[in-house]
């Protein structure tokens, strides 16, 4: 079968740890063909959604992990599935891409994660669907409400709703002399909605990434442990990854969400859990396949391929 992956530019992908590369390698090992395209390669022309795709010969050499054929124009509905794996920012171009992919769905394409579900699950605010699992949280752009929340909880985290990789996340205390300027900066003086959460000291033990694939929970997480002096565990800002078996609470949260997420067409979801609290629901391009596999021996890419093939057969 032929599978199309919508990706960031191929030279930017770090093959030794990239989850999308792991997915493509696994499908190639099973005898399937993989194709790559970017958001800018998509088009809708008089009722047909197409893409300029490039067939990839995927190898296990991390330095030279692919060879690509010249691009050809193909209908997205001609592929067994289209896998959307573009990183945020989730800007208007991202939304336009979801519109194009929804058009492709109407023409018969199978798209994962489903474009409507991606739009409906802001990776920060989606935790609001599961209030029983979250820490005290406020979403607003009103400075007075934010001040009151900081005063009540004394130690909080302020972050934009559209960030990734730990970008623009600030820890703010009630006596912090910079609290006002931090809130003003992140909220752009009230023009931008932000999330404020009670600080979870359990972050010292790791911000755990729990993967849910095709409604099945991967039994290991990647605990992303902050480097000394840092409150963010994201690998992009220097956190150290450690694969661990899921705790009872991790499993409880993941199993409670798994069936609903898959029903909505979310094939791959990355739940972020700090301590006992759900902090994010990642649906755009969840990662950590390789790190979990290397640290635990669990075949995450294999589980993905199994789930994808079941979904399209």
pLDDT digits (tens, 9 = 90+) for 197-233: 999 999 999 999 999 999 999 999 999 998 887 776 7
Pair (16, 95) in one structural domain: yes
Mean pLDDT of the chain: 95
Pair (167, 214) in one structural domain: no
CA 84 remoteness from chain centre: 11
Pair (189, 213) in one structural domain: no
Choose the final residue of a domain: 180, 199, 218: 199
* Total structural domains within the chain: 3
Pair (193, 218) in one structural domain: no
SS3 152: helix
Contacts of 248 (CB under 8 A, 6+ apart): none
Closest to 110 in 3D by CA, of 79, 74, 87, 72: 79
CATH code (residue 147): 3.30.1490.20
Tens digits of residue pLDDT in 145-176: 999 999 999 999 999 988 776 678 999 999 99
CATH code (residue 304): 3.30.470.20
Pair (307, 209) in one structural domain: yes
Q: How many CB atoms lie within 10 A of CB 294?
A: 15
- Print the domain residue range for 94: 2-113
Distance (Å, rounded) from C-alpha 39 to C-alpha 22? 20
CATH code (residue 16): 3.40.50.20
Region of 69 please: left (phi>0), alpha (psi -120 to 50) or beta.
beta
pLDDT in the model for residue 166:
67
Pair (28, 48) in one structural domain: yes
Choose the final residue of a domain: 175, 199, 223: 199
| Prediction pTM value | 0.93
Provide the terminal-to-terminal Cα distance of the chain, rounded to the nearest Å: 10
Pair (106, 153) in one structural domain: no
Tens digits of residue pLDDT in 25-50: 999 999 999 999 999 999 999 999 99
Q: Cα dihedral sign for 11, 15, 99, 120?
A: negative
Contacts of 11 (CB under 8 A, 6+ apart): none
SS3 36: strand
Contacts of 264 (CB under 8 A, 6+ apart): 114, 117, 120
Asked, for residue 118, whether it belongs to a domain, the answer is no
pLDDT of 240 above 80: yes
Q: How many CB atoms lie within 10 A of CB 228?
A: 5
Asked, for residue 238, whether it belongs to a domain, the answer is yes
Q: What angle do CA 69, 311, 24 make, to 5 degrees?
A: 30
Choose the final residue of a domain: 149, 165, 199: 199
pLDDT in the model for residue 275:
97
Q: Which two tokens stand for residue 41?
A: 């390669």
Tens digits of residue pLDDT in 103-116: 999 999 999 999 99
Asked, for residue 7, whether it belongs to a domain, the answer is yes
User: What is the DSSP code string of 108-119?
Assistant: T--EES-HHHHH
Pair (209, 273) in one structural domain: yes
pLDDT in the model for residue 238:
76
pLDDT in the model for residue 83:
98
**Which residues have a catalytic role annotated?**
124, 159, 209, 224, 232, 272, 280, 282
Pair (188, 266) in one structural domain: no
Asked, for residue 120, whether it belongs to a domain, the answer is no
Question: What are 134-137's contacts with CB under 8 Å, separation 24+?
Answer: 134/197, 134/277, 134/278, 134/279, 135/197, 135/198, 135/200, 135/274, 135/277, 135/279, 136/197, 136/198, 137/195, 137/196, 137/197, 137/198
């Amino acid at each position: 079968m032929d599978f199309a992956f919508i990706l960031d530019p191929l030279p930017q992908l770090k093959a030794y740890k990239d989850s999308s590369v792991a997915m493509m390698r696994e499908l190639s090992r099973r005898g399937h063909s993989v194709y790559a395209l970017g958001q800018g390669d998509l088009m809708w022309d008089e009722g047909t959604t197409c893409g300029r795709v490039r067939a990839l010969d995927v190898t296990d050499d991390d330095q030279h992990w692919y060879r690509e054929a010249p691009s050809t124009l193909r209908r997205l509905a001609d592929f067994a599935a289209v896998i959307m794996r573009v990183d945020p920012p989730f800007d208007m171009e991202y939304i336009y891409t979801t519109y194009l992919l929804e058009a492709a769905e109407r023409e018969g394409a199978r798209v994962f994660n489903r474009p409507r579900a991606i739009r409906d699950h802001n990776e920060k605010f989606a935790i609001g669907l599961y209030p029983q699992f979250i820490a005290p949280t406020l979403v607003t752009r009103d400075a007075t409400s934010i001040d009151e929340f900081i005063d009540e909880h004394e130690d909080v985290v302020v972050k934009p709703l559209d960030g990734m990789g730990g970008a623009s996340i600030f820890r703010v205390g009630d006596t912090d002399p910079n609290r006002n300027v931090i809130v003003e900066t992140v909220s752009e003086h009230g023009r931008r909605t932000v999330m404020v959460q009670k600080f979870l000291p359990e972050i010292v033990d790791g911000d755990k990434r729990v993967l849910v694939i095709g409604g099945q929970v991967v039994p290991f997480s990647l605990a992303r442990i902050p480097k000394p002096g840092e409150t963010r565990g994201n690998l992009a800002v220097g956190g150290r990854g450690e694969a661990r078996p899921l705790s009872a609470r991790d499993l409880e949260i993941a199993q409670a969400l798994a069936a609903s997420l898959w029903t909505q067409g979310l094939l791959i979801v990355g739940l972020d859990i700090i301590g006992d609290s759900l902090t994010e629901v990642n649906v755009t391009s969840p990662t950590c396949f390789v790190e979990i596999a290397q640290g635990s021996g669990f075949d995450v890419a294999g589980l993905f391929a199994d789930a994808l093939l079941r979904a399209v057969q």
